């Protein structure tokens, strides 16, 4: 478990992270989501003990990062932003070096290094120099470095930046797999990534936390009303009558008029009311032909933007 309480980090007068608090439970895959400069890397660096907060407390598996830094650090495998690797080492040498740094028992070292190399799909390239590997493989090597030593917690700073779509899918699948046996915190400025991998999202903007929730709840939080798009042929102009007939309708708005004389309307109702059946029957009664009907989705993207905009006010 990770507990962050009222943590602030200042660089001189500039506040990088301001009074943030959150808890991460065992086995969670948590996404730290925010635009560039939001404070994601700063937060991660504080969790790993790589930099010290100006105020506040962080405990990792019960160890305070300032009072018991070694114990706290041992719980964490950290993959920093931008894959800083020792490029003149082979994959195996690099992972072995990381194992030494993490004080993996000499007797077990070889075996543990091999295990991690296999886990991250690096067996075929274990004797290649890391500098000769593709970006996607370098990321795997970096991941292997974080994994060696069996940390309970993995902290991955922007793990998919700079990768092509195929590599992104591979790394995401690897993270999901690792999430079954580890607590994972990853940062990203990409929403779809976080919603695909994580079961909890911490949205951070300008150093402050603006929301902590599941991806699903975040979507629900911003979709206060529920909206349906209907495209109709309404030659007799009876849409206004409909509004009086279906009392659950809060608002009808003309979205667009199409060349084929059909019109698209946005129909708004209170949350949790599904108007589709009533729309079908009432529209038919009024001789309005429905060409298309669909529910308007609110995406995590909308949630993110609304939360960030709210934070800027
Ligand atoms: P993110 O990872 O979300 O892009 P960072 O945590 O790297 O954001 O940065 C948060 C803020 O702190 C930014 O405004 C950045 O300029 C500032 N910052 C980060 N590191 C330093 C530093 N070493 N010295 C001064 N300011 C810094
Ligand atoms: Mg960063």
| Residue spans of beta strands (DSSP E) within the chain | 2-11, 14-24, 29-33, 55-60, 63-64, 76-79, 153-156, 183-188, 200-205, 208-213, 226-233, 249-257, 263-269, 289-295
pLDDT in tens, 178-227: 999 999 999 998 877 888 899 999 999 999 999 999 988 877 766 556 78
Query: Measuring CA to CA, how many Å separate 181 from each of 28, 36, 152, 174, 269?
Result: 10, 30, 8, 12, 43
Ligand 1 centroid–CA 41 distance in Å is 7
Report residue 82's pLDDT band, with 50, 70 and 90 as the boundaries: confident
Residue nearest (by alpha carbon) to ligand 1 atom 17: 16
- Which ligand 1 atom lies nearest to the CA of residue 36? 4
Residue 80 Cβ < 6 Å to ligand 1: no
pTM (two decimals): 0.77
Contact 290, 232 (CB under 8 A): yes
**Residue carrying the six token digits 């060696």:** 148
Ligand 2 centroid–CA 78 distance in Å is 13
pLDDT in tens, 238-247: 998 998 889 8
Strand 226-233: give its sheet, edge to edge: 249-257, 263-269, 226-233, 289-295
Pocket test for ligand 1, best of 39, 52, 81, 186 (most atoms within 8 A of CB): 39
Ligand 2 centroid–CA 81 distance in Å is 6
């Amino acid at each position: 478990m990770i507990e962050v309480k009222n943590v602030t980090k200042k660089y001189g007068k500039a506040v990088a992270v301001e009074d943030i608090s959150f808890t991460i439970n065992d086995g969670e895959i948590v996404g730290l989501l925010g635009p560039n400069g939001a404070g994601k890397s700063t937060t991660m660096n504080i969790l790993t003990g790589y930099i010290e907060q100006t105020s506040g407390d962080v405990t990792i598996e019960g160890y305070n990062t300032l009072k018991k830094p070694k114990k706290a650090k041992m719980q964490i495998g950290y993959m920093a932003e931008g894959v800083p690797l020792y490029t003149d080492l082979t994959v195996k040498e690099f992972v072995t070096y990381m194992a030494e740094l993490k004080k993996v028992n000499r007797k077990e070292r070889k075996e543990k290094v091999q295990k991690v190399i296999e886990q991250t799909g690096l067996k075929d390239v274990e004797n290649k120099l890391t500098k000769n590997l593709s970006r996607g493989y370098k990321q795997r090597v970096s991941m292997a470095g974080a994994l060696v030593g069996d940390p309970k917690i993995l902290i991955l700073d922007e793990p998919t930046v700079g990768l092509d779509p195929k590599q992104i899918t591979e790394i995401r699948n690897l993270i999901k797999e690792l999430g079954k046996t580890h607590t994972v915190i990853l940062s990203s400025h990409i929403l779809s990534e976080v919603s695909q991998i994580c079961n909890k999202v911490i949205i951070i903007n300008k150093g402050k936390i603006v929301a902590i929730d599941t991806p699903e709840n975040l979507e629900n939080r911003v979709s206060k009303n529920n909206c349906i798009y209907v495209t109709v042929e309404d030659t007799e102009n009876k849409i206004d009558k409909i509004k009086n007939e279906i009392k659950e309708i809060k608002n009808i708005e003309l979205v667009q008029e199409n060349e084929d004389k059909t019109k698209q309307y946005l129909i708004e109702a209170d949350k949790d009311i599904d108007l589709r059946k009533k729309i079908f029957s009432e529209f038919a009664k009024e001789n309005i032909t429905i060409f298309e009907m669909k529910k308007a989705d609110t995406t995590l993207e909308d949630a993110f933007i609304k939360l960030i905009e709210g934070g800027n006010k």
